[in-house]
Chains A and B, each alone.
Chain A
Amino acid sequence: MTSGPAEPVPVVARLENVSLRYGKTLALDAITLDVPAGGMAGLIGPDGVGKSSLLSLLSGARKIQEGSVTVLGGDMRDTAHRRRSCPQIAYMPQGLGRNLYPTLSVFENVDFFGRLFGLDQHEREDRIAELLKSTGLASFADRPAGKLSGGMKQKLGLCCALIHDPELLILDEPTTGVDPLSRRQFWELIDGIRRGRKEMSVLVATAYMEEAARFDWLIAMNAGNVLATGSPNDLLKKTAAPNLDAAFIALLPEDQRRGHVDVVIPPRVDGGGEDVAIEADHLTMRFGDFTAVDDVSFRITRGEIFGFLGSNGCGKTTTMKMLTGLLPASEGTVTLFGRGVDPNDMAVRHRVGYMSQGFSLYSELTVAQNLDLHARLFHLPADRIGPRIAEVEHRFDLTDVMDALPDALPLGIRQRLSLAVAMLHSPELLILDEPTSGVDPVARDQFWQILADLSRNDNVTIFVSTHFMNEAERCDRISLMHAGRVLVSDTPEAIVAQRKASSLEDAFIAYLQDAIGSNAGSELEADEIAASLAAEHHAVSDRPAGALRQSMRRMLAYMRRETLELRRDPLRATLATLGSVLLMFVIGYGINLDVDNLSFAVLDRDDTTISRDYATQIAGSRYFNEKAPVTDYKDLDRRMGDGELSLVLEFPPGFGRDVARGRNVEIGAWIDGAMPTRGDTIASYVQQIHTEWLAQKARQLYGDSSGLGAFQVALRYRYNPNVESLVAMAPAVIPLLLMMIPAMLIVLSVVREKELGSIINFYVTPVTRLEFLLGKQIPYVALAMLNFVLLAAFAVFVFRVPFTGSFLAFTFGALLYVIVSTSMGLVVSSFMNSQIAAIFGTTLITLIPAIQYSGLIDPVSSLQGAGAFIGKIYPAAYFVTISRGTFSKGLGFGDLANAYLALLIAIPILFGLGAAFLKKQAA
């Protein structure tokens, strides 16, 4: 396509002096830019120059720091405008399926986005059917998104982005890591849609220059600045370059251009052909009844660069894992340097360097620390480590970033670091799984130059998988894989010749289409799709529904999704429900406040009838077990010291004689105070027994006139007449469990979205904080109520704790309480970014207060210091009152007003805090 005419073109987005910093790093440097409307605009440039940052600012996902961003005629700083415009903007973030929900099916994912944008059921069904059909996903509608191949994930992401028929479609590297066939289909789809909706603007960041060549308008970026804008032809003319790759390099500043040289791979010297480095013999890998790799054989000689191509999910990664011994093959053998691969053979690992598809180095270590760690793990001699790291640092041009953390680096540099690590120990074989995926052209060329040098100069064998055809062309031989089988294996030239194709890409696609079967209809269909999607457009754009109804729909969308995810993870729900019942059983049964089985012994230095009578009184009570008498103080020290005796009674010499004569005597009772609760209990038992013994003796000696019988105490143990622990404990354990489990579930569900990336959907869709939080909360409140019913039933029917009050009042209290505990979870989750910290934090604020400050063991009224304060404001204490009140005290609604009130006050406070701390944009 050609560039726009000279007259002013309508603008879809305008940036003025926009700057963005991450800490000290300047990602965007005072950018001023107009993006024309109604066309396809491409952002090109190396990694880490700010392309993604720019797109996230335009989509409203990230907060604007400096400058002004105008999108669709409004200021993106303005919350009201963002809310109005985000239904018109669709944003697909970088990374394969990063904003999708892996446990939800294809249909459910699209459906969720449809609901978020307020489409009614009829609209949704029609549109989803159209979109899935046009993307070829219709037959996979029920497959979980997590099990899709990379290309299919991107198509699904596109479906999700297009569901609400946006005016501006923002795609951040949508085809990175996607195989050529899927990539081609992806762009055909976009073209088809644009033919139907000419007014839609599309803004794409891409690393593929051949894709960029087809766009209407390009923005070339470097180091946070815009280098040039214009149509591809403009750029070519301006730089007088033959293609965009060259044009871009020409646009770079002088000092960066100098680093670039075209990749030169000298031909292989003959003679290396005999020495086999790696040989796979009929390799097969099955996962259950799915065959991932089917009878794959090849033989690679030393020093060869062997390319491995294939569609996403065809078994390339699995094959590579088998080669490294990470996965044991179901059938067949792998031989490395003439030896079978044994996962336990450390010697082989020294000779192999592996680079996995995702970045797998430690993001918490600096570049230098990562290199150092690996050098040591591969046992480089101590005196070689320094020089070797320096050598690698120089070779891979890492000098400037040695002290940086990998997360802060652009993808291209991270991949270079990964390669540096993989070959730090000078392996003879490198296995590289899509090493250049997402890396910009300049960095890719540098990368390949290094590979070429390694192969030709150091005779390193290289086994590399890639989606880039120009990289495949550089290999000595390539294999083409599809659905677990090798379709063809030969030199690139031979493969092109064999198919009589014009390029390797065409040959590749031809092979794939043969393997898949007829696929010719796809382009024809594109126009139909376009037409049908366009026709649909009017129906979607004038939505009559009211604001409140829209809001309800969005909340329900989140709620539905959360419920589905919970249902897809039955283990979590089971652990939450049955686990809590199990816990209730163990704790209710295990905590018994009626202390018995206490061991005691006598140090009897009197040994008369009367002292023995006293000892018998103690031994006869059900609380104490008598042990062998203590002989002397040394014995006493020893036996109390090792915890054998909890109580020792000491009778002084002449005890019996003095009692008979009415002289003052003293019995010594030594109590083990190491555990004070037990000590207290022992003291009170002994005291009671002593009082009884005195009364008995007094009656024997003086008759009934003794003062000890002067009055009686009628003890009424109320609410729990038999003083059973279970009656006291079971109602108090329910609050403990209903605090911890719902809070933990909801904290992890929110923090997980943050850690794994799907939180972006909250940033860029019209969903509000309140809708998001409520939608998250309601399923967990429902789960917690289910839990509550189970626990209450368990207490009543299994523990046989009598329930005397109003069950309705109890249930109402429980409902309030679980809303409180889930709201507490929401507050915690707004502070946490990593799941580990979330787990630890939640445990800290739920477990300890719920056990210690809420009346489970000690009444709240007796707590002191900070604990007394916590006990007063901690919601569990109030629910303990409700639970014990309704269980044992026969209470109903009226009696519990105070407790209800406390919980009712807590709900808006906690929920408000949760909403206030939750950010609607990335910082």
Chain B
Amino acid sequence: MRVGNIWQLGVKELRGLMRDSTMLILIVYAFTVSIYAASRALPDTLNHAAIAIVDEDQSPVSSRIITAFYPPFFSVPHLITQEEMDRRMDAGTDTFALDIPPEFQRDLLAGRSPTIQLNIDATRMTQAFTGGGYIEAILAGEISEFLSRYRSDGNLPVRLSLRARYNANLNKVWFGAITNVIMSITMLSIILTGAALIREREHGTVEHLLVMPVTPFEIMVSKIWSMGVVVLLASSISLIFVVQGVLQVPVHGSVPLFLAGAALDIFAMTALGIFLATMAGTMPQFGMLLILVLIPLQVLSGGVTPRESMPAVIRDIMLAAPNTHFIVLAQSVLFRGSGFDVVWPQFAALLGIGCVLFALSMRSFRRFLR
């Protein structure tokens, strides 16, 4: 192994990338506009949740309930008739529909314990649970306050004070921005190395390399370091200028520690990219393989939905994916301000997975060159 060779071959890769202006534009887009738009779009779980109310009572208590729903948690309630309710829910216009029955107030005051019907579109699961809970709490609050003017029996004075740590307002932009940076890292690392390798073969330049005094190991390492540097640089700039700058996400922890983790993640991902390229014979096949690998990596690594909610099998399988560990690491370091003493297991896992992937792709890369 000659470090000089690895350096020279890597510089060649970088020069090649510099000339591909479409690719450069796409990289810039992926790390700026795409991240900005995607994280700004993320609503809080209950953000403008569409609610409609069928008010069959038309009483002070019902109007009190109607005015209790307002943005940003809920949209301003649409007042509809019962006939409209089904159609609107079918069309997906409303997620929640509250039906206040006739004579609700009278029954309430008479202590007959009337029933309010709450319809929830349960295909929208994210909002169904949280929203249902909120609506129940709001109803309870409004009604008990209403009743307290008429009745004076006691209420338990126990309050629950909810305090979210690390992100007091549970602002989704924070986490969303980081997840999107990680998404872009994954995508770019795999595509840059994998597709570039297939292109070299389709254009016959790999063969030329092999008659020179360079080993497959040197070729592979040079691809990994050069593309890795590009991705790392892009993600650092994105983290500092887009995430911290434009999106105003407060970072509690150490950015260098995060970037060290990112470097390990990129190492594993670029090795994976080479592995996929050696599996696929042509670019269209690589494209398909890429989709097969990227979607689970994006969706199941804990960035989109919490890992806690996944079935145990999937959770265990996804432990083999570098992303999974990297997302945990990113959360700990950036938001909880953890140091290396806390996240070392993630570092170890990333390094381990990276080495295994590297060894695997090294083996198939040698075969690929034959």
Is A583 within 8 A of B114, CB to CB? no
Is A680 within 8 A of B38, CB to CB? no
A-B contact list, 15 entries, CB within 8 Å: A326-B211, A359-B204, A365-B12, A597-B308, A671-B163, A672-B165, A677-B306, A680-B45, A688-B137, A714-B116, A744-B288, A836-B192, A844-B34, A865-B37, A866-B41
- Asked, given contacts A595-B309, A844-B29, A870-B41, whether A344 binds B215 with beta carbons under 8 Å apart, the answer is yes
**A324 contacts chain B at the CB level, 8 A cutoff:** yes
B 169-194 to A, binary, CB cutoff 8 A, 1 in contact else 0 = 01110110000100100011001100
Q: Give the segment of A20-28, A107-115, A396-404, A718-726 that binds chain B.
A: A718-726
Given contacts A662-B156, A678-B308, A745-B288, 5 further A-B contacts (CB under 8 A): A671-B162, A707-B147, A721-B122, A857-B304, A859-B92
**A818 contacts chain B at the CB level, 8 A cutoff:** no
Task: Enumerate chain B residues within 8 angstroms of A685, measured Cβ to Cβ.
Answer: 133
Is A593 within 8 A of B125, CB to CB? yes
Which A556-597 residues sit within 8 Å CB-CB of chain B? 569, 571-572, 575-576, 579, 582-583, 586-587, 589-597
Task: Please name the 8 residue pairs, one residue from A and one from B, whose CB atoms are nearest each other, closest first.
Answer: A867-B41, A673-B167, A673-B164, A720-B122, A364-B16, A360-B208, A575-B288, A593-B125
How far apart are the CA atoms of A858 and B90 in the complex, in Å? 17
**B299 contacts chain A at the CB level, 8 A cutoff:** yes
**A518 contacts chain B at the CB level, 8 A cutoff:** no
Is B170 within 8 A of A676, CB to CB? yes
Is B30 within 8 A of A711, CB to CB? no
Is B283 within 8 A of A711, CB to CB? no
Task: Enumerate chain A residues within 8 angstroms of B352, measured Cβ to Cβ.
Answer: none
**Minimum C-beta distance from B2 to chain A (A):** 7
How far apart are the CA atoms of A586 and B104 in the complex, in Å? 47
- Asked, given contacts A836-B20, A840-B187, whether A741 binds B299 with beta carbons under 8 Å apart, the answer is no
Which A621-652 residues sit within 8 Å CB-CB of chain B? 640-643, 646
How far apart are the CA atoms of A594 and B128 in the complex, in Å? 10
- Asked, given contacts A572-B284, A852-B42, whether A711 binds B108 with beta carbons under 8 Å apart, the answer is yes
Residue of B nearest to A642 (CB): B342
Which A299-329 residues sit within 8 Å CB-CB of chain B? 324-328
Is B284 within 8 A of A852, CB to CB? no
How far apart are the CA atoms of A732 and B140 in the complex, in Å? 34
Main secondary structure of the interface of B (DSSP, over half): helix
Is B162 within 8 A of A575, CB to CB? no
- Asked, given contacts A352-B211, A672-B166, A728-B125, whether A839 binds B42 with beta carbons under 8 Å apart, the answer is no
Is B143 within 8 A of A884, CB to CB? no
Is A665 within 8 A of B158, CB to CB? yes
Task: Enumerate chain B residues within 8 angstroms of A905, measured Cβ to Cβ.
Answer: none
Which B317-350 residues sit within 8 Å CB-CB of chain A? 318, 328, 331-332, 335-338, 342-343
**A885 contacts chain B at the CB level, 8 A cutoff:** yes
Task: Enumerate chain B residues within 8 angstroms of A592, measured Cβ to Cβ.
Answer: 305, 309-311
**B290 contacts chain A at the CB level, 8 A cutoff:** yes
Is A725 within 8 A of B299, CB to CB? no
- Asked, given contacts A377-B8, A694-B156, A866-B41, whether A575 binds B91 with beta carbons under 8 Å apart, the answer is no
Is A839 within 8 A of B191, CB to CB? yes
Which B275-330 residues sit within 8 Å CB-CB of chain A? 281-292, 294-296, 298-300, 302, 304-306, 308-311, 314, 318, 328
**Minimum C-beta distance from A644 to chain B (A):** 10
**B123 contacts chain A at the CB level, 8 A cutoff:** yes
Is B121 within 8 A of A706, CB to CB? no
**A379 contacts chain B at the CB level, 8 A cutoff:** yes
Is B44 within 8 A of A676, CB to CB? yes
Q: Give the segment of B47-55, B237-245, B261-269 that binds chain A.
A: B47-55
**Minimum C-beta distance from B169 to chain A (A):** 8
How far apart are the CA atoms of A133 and B340 in the complex, in Å? 75
Is B130 within 8 A of A684, CB to CB? yes
Residue in contact with B20 in the complex, picked from A354, A364, A747, CB distance below 8 Å: A364
**B203 contacts chain A at the CB level, 8 A cutoff:** yes
**Minimum C-beta distance from B107 to chain A (A):** 8
Residue of B nearest to A431 (CB): B211
Is B90 within 8 A of A895, CB to CB? yes
A 688-719 to B, binary, CB cutoff 8 A, 1 in contact else 0 = 10110010011001100111111111111111
Which A396-451 residues sit within 8 Å CB-CB of chain B? 405
**Minimum C-beta distance from A592 to chain B (A):** 4
Residue in contact with B8 in the complex, picked from A373, A579, A590, CB distance below 8 Å: A373
Interface residues on B, range: 35 or more
Is B155 within 8 A of A707, CB to CB? yes
Is B308 within 8 A of A858, CB to CB? no
How far apart are the CA atoms of A642 and B44 in the complex, in Å? 24
How far apart are the CA atoms of A48 and B124 in the complex, in Å? 63
How far apart are the CA atoms of A664 and B162 in the complex, in Å? 16
- Asked, given contacts A836-B20, A843-B187, whether A663 binds B113 with beta carbons under 8 Å apart, the answer is no
- Asked, given contacts A326-B210, A590-B314, A671-B165, whether A665 binds B159 with beta carbons under 8 Å apart, the answer is yes
- Asked, given contacts A587-B300, A590-B310, A711-B113, whether A349 binds B164 with beta carbons under 8 Å apart, the answer is no
How far apart are the CA atoms of A839 and B117 in the complex, in Å? 50
Task: Enumerate chain B residues within 8 angstroms of A166, measured Cβ to Cβ.
Answer: none
B 201-239 to A, binary, CB cutoff 8 A, 1 in contact else 0 = 011110110111111000000000000000000000000
**A362 contacts chain B at the CB level, 8 A cutoff:** yes
**A888 contacts chain B at the CB level, 8 A cutoff:** yes
Is A698 within 8 A of B156, CB to CB? yes
**A6 contacts chain B at the CB level, 8 A cutoff:** no
**Minimum C-beta distance from B72 to chain A (A):** 9
Which A333-378 residues sit within 8 Å CB-CB of chain B? 343-344, 346, 349-350, 352, 354, 356, 358-365, 369, 373-374, 376-378
**A902 contacts chain B at the CB level, 8 A cutoff:** no
Residue of B nearest to A640 (CB): B165
Is A863 within 8 A of B41, CB to CB? yes
How far apart are the CA atoms of A888 and B284 in the complex, in Å? 35
Task: Enumerate chain B residues within 8 angstroms of A528, measured Cβ to Cβ.
Answer: none
How far apart are the CA atoms of A727 and B91 in the complex, in Å? 17
Task: Enumerate chain A residues within 8 angstroms of B155, measured Cβ to Cβ.
Answer: 698, 706-708
**B66 contacts chain A at the CB level, 8 A cutoff:** no
**Minimum C-beta distance from B175 to chain A (A):** 5
Residue in contact with A681 in the complex, picked from B47, B130, B287, CB distance below 8 Å: B130
**A37 contacts chain B at the CB level, 8 A cutoff:** no
Is B41 within 8 A of A868, CB to CB? yes
Is A859 within 8 A of B127, CB to CB? yes
Is A728 within 8 A of B336, CB to CB? no
Q: Which residue among B19, B42, B158 has the maximum number of chain A CB atoms within 10 Å of its CB? A: B158
Residue of A nearest to B303 (CB): A675
**A891 contacts chain B at the CB level, 8 A cutoff:** yes
**B132 contacts chain A at the CB level, 8 A cutoff:** yes
Is A594 within 8 A of B129, CB to CB? yes
How far apart are the CA atoms of A377 and B5 in the complex, in Å? 6
**A666 contacts chain B at the CB level, 8 A cutoff:** yes
Is B310 within 8 A of A710, CB to CB? no
A 238-272 to B, binary, CB cutoff 8 A, 1 in contact else 0 = 00000000000000000000000000000000000
How far apart are the CA atoms of A871 and B343 in the complex, in Å? 37
Residue in contact with B113 in the complex, picked from A709, A721, A728, A857, CB distance below 8 Å: A709
How far apart are the CA atoms of A702 and B8 in the complex, in Å? 82
**B111 contacts chain A at the CB level, 8 A cutoff:** yes
Is A360 within 8 A of B205, CB to CB? yes
Task: Enumerate chain A residues within 8 angstroms of B342, measured Cβ to Cβ.
Answer: 641-642
**A2 contacts chain B at the CB level, 8 A cutoff:** no
Is A362 within 8 A of B133, CB to CB? no
**B9 contacts chain A at the CB level, 8 A cutoff:** yes
How far apart are the CA atoms of A848 and B38 in the complex, in Å? 8
How far apart are the CA atoms of A798 and B77 in the complex, in Å? 39
Task: Enumerate chain A residues within 8 angstroms of B300, measured Cβ to Cβ.
Answer: 586-587, 590-591
Task: Enumerate chain B residues within 8 angstroms of A865, measured Cβ to Cβ.
Answer: 37, 40-41
**Minimum C-beta distance from A511 to chain B (A):** 30
Is A356 within 8 A of B213, CB to CB? no
**A898 contacts chain B at the CB level, 8 A cutoff:** yes
How far apart are the CA atoms of A862 and B92 in the complex, in Å? 12
Q: Which residue among A593, A756, A851, A859 has the maximum number of chain B CB atoms within 10 Å of its CB? A: A859
**Minimum C-beta distance from B265 to chain A (A):** 18
Is B164 within 8 A of A641, CB to CB? no
